[in-house]
Amino acid sequence: MASLELVNLSKTFGQVKVLHNLDLTVKEGEFLALVGPSGCGKSTLLRIIAGLDDASDGLVVMDGDDVSELSPRERNVAMVFQSYALYPHMTVEENIGFNLRISGLSKAEIASRVEEAAQTLDLTELLKRKPSQLSGGQRQRVAMGRALVRNPDAFLFDEPLSNLDAKLRVQMREEIKRLHKKVRTTSVYVTHDQIEAMTLADRIVIMKDGRIQQIGSPTELYREPNNAFVAGFIGSPAMNFLPGRLLFEGDDRFAVLTDGTRLAVTDERAGEIANNAAIQVGLRPEHLRVAAQGDGDHANRLAGTLDLIEPTGAQNHLKVSVCDQLLTVVDSQLVSLDIDQPVTLSIDPNQVYVFAAA
Amino acid sequence: MAKTATSAFKKSSNWVVQAILIFGVLVTIFPFVWVALMGTHSRSDIFSSPPPFYVGDRLMENYAKLLEIMPFWTVLGNSLFVSVLGTLGAVLFCSMCAYGFFAFDFRGKNIIFGIMVASMMVPPVLTLIPFFLTVKFLGILDTHFALWFPGVANAFGIFLIRQYMVTSITRDLLDAAKVDGASELRIYWSVVLPLIKPALATLAIVMFIGLWNNFLAPLIVISSPDKYVLTLALRSVQSLANSPWGAVMLGTFLSMVPLLLAFVFFSKQMMAGLTAGAVKG
């Protein structure tokens, strides 16, 4: 296990700068997720940590040693790829033991370590098979076995679950979490799926356009997002945004929407934003209540019209038209409503987020 | 009714297609059968009218004559030596060059690759004189080395294998091997080579046939009779007055046997290599 530190790291492809002076520390044994939309530079960052790509500027430091100039083989990191990248001509056993054979370990040592990794990942029965004879989940486990068998200083995961179906993805997510709990190896996990990041990681790094937007625990990011991008990225369904302006009335703060609706905002949420400044009002779908059903008696009320109901089983997702925009509301009470029916939504002032308009 | 007519038409068109194919097969194999049959006849039988289209009784006589007019087994050995070394060399060096073009990014890569592919369009006969001058300059005239070595890194082989790599090996696989701690040579040997076997087999067959049948290069390079290869030796006895055609035909047939055997054993891989990437798998 090792700690990992990125110091003022930049990467440029031709004229295009894809990573901008990143500073990041991953503590020993920590599980860190890099999250962001496609093209934000998260996979590039992972490849730089692995040594597969060189940084244009800055350092990669592992356990206090600068490893920026070292090749992948010298860094002692293991990587799990999105495509699994198993060697098709080798059996599961040979795939898992490939690194050990290169390292020149004895046959007996290789066999015992492969066996141990196979047991951990429930692959013992499959050791003699070729990758083409395995299911997607089994291939993923072999890829993890190949990483695990080396006892690396760090695990790097590059969207390892994105080729699996939804059910298998949930199962593999649990397995990865269990595995990390057992081996406690420093891990960096790249994904564009915020649920995956939230459920797995100790801390999450949100990236956009090669810049870090915020670093924090899943709960911190959900509760205290730094900006509208982070707020919109974390949470499912995504946060609703409405344009407006911030109004000061004595000690009180209000978000005034385009139709004149006023929503009380706490000082904490208003932060440093000036009086009358243009803002984005953020309302999480699960914080909005349908007031007409007596389920929302908060001071903040928004009038709208029900446009659509999307039943998901345990809850309904309501699309409510407010200020000419559709807001998503999570209705856990499964109230009986009609399309085009006027509805009043309410929300606790503590849960009204405001961000300076871009 | 219409259905019956359609199926009758399909049946008859099937027959036509099969008849054309059978005709094609007969035309293709006729020269081989003809050469084999003529190897069992005397010169006078061969030129009789109509020619004898049956197995004759002069096989052993022709064989004795063949050994008399040329050191057949030495010449066959020379051909094998040149073809096997040239084939092994081409498989090794073409795959290495192809790996370079496939796996590494370097300045001018596309231009070099383009020039290399374009060089395949130059008719080989045009390069004959420069080839002779180069061989003479290097002092390797009248050596087998000059026959097999110049072709070990050829444009066709590099192009064929590089294209196969593009369709069958992912970047992730190379990256995974790097992270696993493999050196470039190790990746080439342990990961890439096993995955391009069909392309290697194709190249091996094409190279072997090319070297085995090569006539022009030996003609201008080799001058000592003991270094002759089959094509050259068989041609040299034809220039004699009163050519022993039965022996020549027997020698020609025997010279085809290694190629036929190679095709029987490797045809499957050859097809796989040539059609790779044609169908999405």
Å from A326 to nearest chain B CA? 42
Residues B141 and B85 reside in one and the same domain: yes
Residue with tokens 């066959």: B76
B228 assigned to some structural domain = yes
A82 and B CB contact within 8 Å? yes
B261 assigned to some structural domain = no
Burial (CB count <10 Å: 0-12, 13-18, 19+), residue B96: middle
B213 assigned to some structural domain = yes
**What's the rounded Cα separation, in Å, for the pair B84 and B89?**
8
Query: How many whole angstroms from its chain centre is CA A86?
Result: 25
What kind and span of H or E run contains A156? strand A154-158
A151 and B CB contact within 8 Å? no
Residue B67 pLDDT > 80: yes
The per-residue pLDDT of chain A, averaged, comes to 91
**Chain A partners within 8 Å of B103 (Cβ):** none
**Chain B partners within 8 Å of A85 (Cβ):** 170, 172-173, 175-176
**What's the rounded Cα separation, in Å, for the pair B244 and B38?**
11
Residue A14 pLDDT > 70: yes
Residue of A nearest to B175 (CA): A52
Residues B77 and B54 reside in one and the same domain: no
B244 assigned to some structural domain = no
Residues B53 and B91 reside in one and the same domain: no
Mutate to test the interface with B, among A52, A110, A142 (most CBs of B within 10 A): A52
Residue A16 pLDDT > 80: yes
**What's the rounded Cα separation, in Å, for the pair A250 and B39?**
115
Residue A294 pLDDT > 80: no
**Chain B partners within 8 Å of A79 (Cβ):** 175-176, 179
Residues B97 and B137 reside in one and the same domain: yes
Report residue B77 as tokens: 């050995």
B167 assigned to some structural domain = yes
The ipTM is 0.84
Calculate what percentage of chain A has a pLDDT beyond 90.
Answer: 71
| Domain range for B83 | 70-237
The per-residue pLDDT of chain B, averaged, comes to 89
B205 assigned to some structural domain = yes
Do the Cβ atoms of A85 and B175 come within 8 Å? Answer: yes
Residue-by-residue DSSP string for B115-168: HHHHHTTS-GGGGHHHHHHHHHHHT-TT-SHHHHGGGTT-HHHHHHHHHHHHHH
Å from A273 to nearest chain B CA? 47
Write down the number of H helices and E strands in chain A: 10, 20
**What's the rounded Cα separation, in Å, for the pair A7 and A60?**
7
pLDDT at B232: 92
**What's the rounded Cα separation, in Å, for the pair B12 and B45?**
42
**What's the rounded Cα separation, in Å, for the pair B23 and B10?**
20
B272 assigned to some structural domain = no
Residues B163 and B42 reside in one and the same domain: no
**What's the rounded Cα separation, in Å, for the pair A121 and A176?**
10
**What's the rounded Cα separation, in Å, for the pair A109 and A100?**
9
Residues B28 and B114 reside in one and the same domain: no
Q: What is the widest separation between alpha-carbon atoms in chain B?
A: 79
Residues B54 and B107 reside in one and the same domain: no
Sheet holding A154-158, edge to edge: A77-80, A154-158, A186-191, A31-35, A203-208, A211-216
Residues B29 and B100 reside in one and the same domain: no
Residues B107 and B49 reside in one and the same domain: no
Contact A102, A76 (CB under 8 A): no
B176 and A CB contact within 8 Å? yes
B172 and A CB contact within 8 Å? yes
Closest partner CB to A83 (pick from B170, B179, B182):
B170
Residue B181 pLDDT > 80: yes
pLDDT at B50: 85
pLDDT at A321: 94
- Helix, strand, or coil here: B52? coil
Least confident of A163-172, B159-168, B198-207, B259-268: B259-268
B175 and A CB contact within 8 Å? yes
B252 assigned to some structural domain = no
pLDDT at B277: 47
pLDDT at B274: 62
The whole-number average pLDDT for the span B106-124 is 93
Of A292, A342, A285, the closest CA to residue A315 belongs to A285
Residues B53 and B118 reside in one and the same domain: no
pLDDT at B279: 42
A71 and B CB contact within 8 Å? yes
Dihedral of CA atoms A188, A194, A197, A199 in degrees, nearest 10, equals: -170
Residue B3 pLDDT > 80: no
Of B118, B187, B168, the closest CA to residue A71 belongs to B187
Q: In total, how many domains does chain B have?
A: 2
Dihedral of CA atoms A104, A109, A111, A117 in degrees, nearest 10, equals: -100
B268 and A CB contact within 8 Å? no
- Return the axis-axis angle of helices A136-148 and A107-120, rounded to nearest 10°: 130
Residues B35 and B134 reside in one and the same domain: no
Tell me the CATH number at B129.
Answer: 1.10.3720.10
Q: Which residues pair with A11 in a beta bridge?
A: A19
Residues B116 and B20 reside in one and the same domain: no
Q: What is the pLDDT of residues A27-72, one digit of tens each?
A: 999 999 999 999 899 999 999 999 999 999 999 999 999 999 999 8
Closest partner CB to B195 (pick from A72, A89, A102):
A89
Closest partner CB to A102 (pick from B170, B176, B186):
B186
Mutate to test the interface with A, among B169, B174, B178, B180 (most CBs of A within 10 A): B180
Do the Cβ atoms of B178 and A78 come within 8 Å? Answer: no
pLDDT at B280: 35
Q: What is the pLDDT of residues A206-235, one digit of tens each?
A: 999 999 999 999 999 999 999 999 999 999
Do the Cβ atoms of B179 and A82 come within 8 Å? Answer: no
Calculate what percentage of chain A has a pLDDT beyond 70.
Answer: 98
**Chain A partners within 8 Å of B183 (Cβ):** 73
Q: What is the pLDDT of residues A230-257, one digit of tens each?
A: 999 999 899 999 999 999 988 889 999 9
**Cβ contacts of A273 within 8 Å, gap of 6 or more:** A246, A279, A354, A356
**What's the rounded Cα separation, in Å, for the pair A323 and A280?**
13
Residue B17 pLDDT > 50: yes
Do the Cβ atoms of A87 and B178 come within 8 Å? Answer: no
Cβ-Cβ pairs closer than 8 A, A with B, add up to: 55
The whole-number average pLDDT for the span B167-183 is 93
**Chain A partners within 8 Å of B176 (Cβ):** 79, 81, 85-87, 146
What is the bridge-based pairing of β-strands A77-80 and A154-158?
A: parallel
